Structure 1
Amino acid sequence: MKRYGSFCPIAKASEILSERWTFLIVRELMLGAFHFNDIRRGVPRMSPALLAKRLRTLQDCEIVSTTPISGGRGFEYRLTQAGEDLRPIIELAGHWGQRWARSKLPPGELDPGELMWYIRRHFGKIGLPARRIVMQIDFTDVRRMKRWWVLLEDGEADLCLDDPGFDIDIYLTTDLLSLTQVYIGDLSFARAVSKGCIELDGPRDLLRGMPVWFARSRFADDNPIWVD
């Protein structure tokens, strides 16, 4: 950890939080990723070795606590009170980033695994039928991770890269950029469908409600100020 050599509290906080990936690791813990592999899914471009190093640093700084997994290997990672106190800071950083630091989504920032992991967390509950819904999502323009299954049940969403064996209720076909734009708030779900960026197949009553309950970022309503 690099030091500023200053007593300033902002400098002290920056010594810990300004290291690359640290903010994103705290974000993952805030969103309920408590195991190493779950945290990795939220930061897919980060190496396992560096993630382990950053988690050790956060533990040393008493921002993260670890507990051995009962009957298994590895640890469960949880935010301490110091970590929980970062929650409003991370939230404000997200709103600020959406408004003032957004890119226009160049190809290098698009990743199907990362997008689907985010989408999994943010399905709405209003308008979603009480029964289990199985959705198949196909990306038309990627070579890996091009087909996903999403299982929605009891307010929770599970992701599968292998066919779970259930009947499919909704088929959604799209390209990676369009679905990312829908999730991040640059394109409404209804507009994406009307433009042909998203193609749907399934019962009409289910499809009619999708603009309400389909996943969107919690920052999607913040209008970006484009600077690039």
Structure 2
Amino acid sequence: MSRRLKDMQGSGLIARHHDVTTGQVNYIPTDMARKLEPIVHALGQWAHENIDSAVTLQKLDSRLLMWNVRRKIDLRRFPDRRSVVQFIFPEQKPEHRNYWLIARPGCEVDLCVTDPGFEVDLFVESELKTLTRIYMGFAPMSESIKRGEMYVVR
């Protein structure tokens, strides 16, 4: 992921911003990237409408999925304190099996690939393919939970 960020930064698509007060590093889209945004969204919409879901679900990437899930988190739906959600993909290799999202008021959501050591508020367990199907809109979460394909535990 850091290589992708460096490539995008080198291409002028994002700018790295380091907040010295919090120590947090953010990557902000540049004007060039913002000009590309309608094109990228249109291509994504076209792909969603025209590419067969079975083909899309053949090459799955847990880190990419979790990065995308992280970007879509609505902090307004979280309590006004640090919240930790652990995602578990039991069929994946150990290095791709666990991810933690950390939501804090006033901060962007963090994605961790190693245990951050905080108490977990919510556990989500499913196969990678199941969560990908839900994220892409190919399957409703409620049905996946009813069928036992996904477990959500507080």
Tell me the TM-score range normalised by the shorter chain: 0.7 to 0.9
Task: Indicate yes or no: 2:36 matched with 1:86.
Answer: yes
Distance 2:65 2:14 in 1: 28
Deviation per CA, 1:67-104: give whole Å up to 9, x if none.
8x8xxxxxx78533x44222212111111111112432
AA aligned to 1:157 is V
Distance 1:130 1:102 in 2: 40
Number of residue-to-residue matches in the alignment: 146
Distance 2:76 2:55 in 1: 29
Q: Tell me, yes or no, if the aligned pair for 1:134 and 1:151 is still in contact at 8 Å.
A: yes
In the other structure, the counterpart of 2:21 is: none
Offset of 1:183 from its aligned partner?
0.7
Distance 1:66 1:149 in 2: 25
Query: Pick from 146, 168, 171: which aligns with 2:123?
Result: 171
Query: Pick from 90, 94, 100: which aligns with 1:140?
Result: 90
1:140 counterpart SS class:
coil
In structure 2, do the counterparts of structure 1 residues 172 and 88 end up closer, same or farther at CA, with 3 Å as the change threshold? same
Offset of 1:160 from its aligned partner?
1.1
1:85 counterpart SS class:
helix
In the other structure, the counterpart of 1:162 is: 114
Offset of 1:196 from its aligned partner?
0.7
Deviation per CA, 1:125-156: give whole Å up to 9, x if none.
45332222111111111113101111112263
Distance 1:183 1:95 in 2: 14
In the other structure, the counterpart of 1:13 is: none
Q: Tell me, yes or no, if the aligned pair for 2:86 and 2:120 is still in contact at 8 Å.
A: yes
Q: Tell me, yes or no, if the aligned pair for 1:105 and 1:177 is still in contact at 8 Å.
A: no
Q: Tell me, yes or no, if the aligned pair for 1:147 and 1:161 is still in contact at 8 Å.
A: yes
Q: Percent identity?
A: 26
Deviation per CA, 1:163-188: give whole Å up to 9, x if none.
11111111111101001011111111
2:96 counterpart SS class:
coil
- TM-score by structure 1 length? 0.54
Task: Indicate yes or no: 2:140 matched with 1:188.
Answer: yes
AA aligned to 2:4 is R
Structure 1 stretches of 4+ with a deviation exceeding 4 A read: 64-67
- Larger-gyration structure (1/2): 1
- TM-score by structure 2 length? 0.76
Distance 2:70 2:34 in 1: 23
Offset of 1:113 from its aligned partner?
1.1
Distance 1:78 1:150 in 2: 22
Query: Pick from 66, 75, 85: which aligns with 1:116?
Result: 66
In structure 2, do the counterparts of structure 1 residues 158 and 105 end up closer, same or farther at CA, with 3 Å as the change threshold? farther
Query: Pick from 128, 131, 137: which aligns with 2:78?
Result: 128
Distance 1:191 1:65 in 2: 38
Offset of 1:199 from its aligned partner?
0.9
- The 5 A counterparts of 1:71-110 are 79-80=30-31, 82-105=32-55, 108-110=58-60
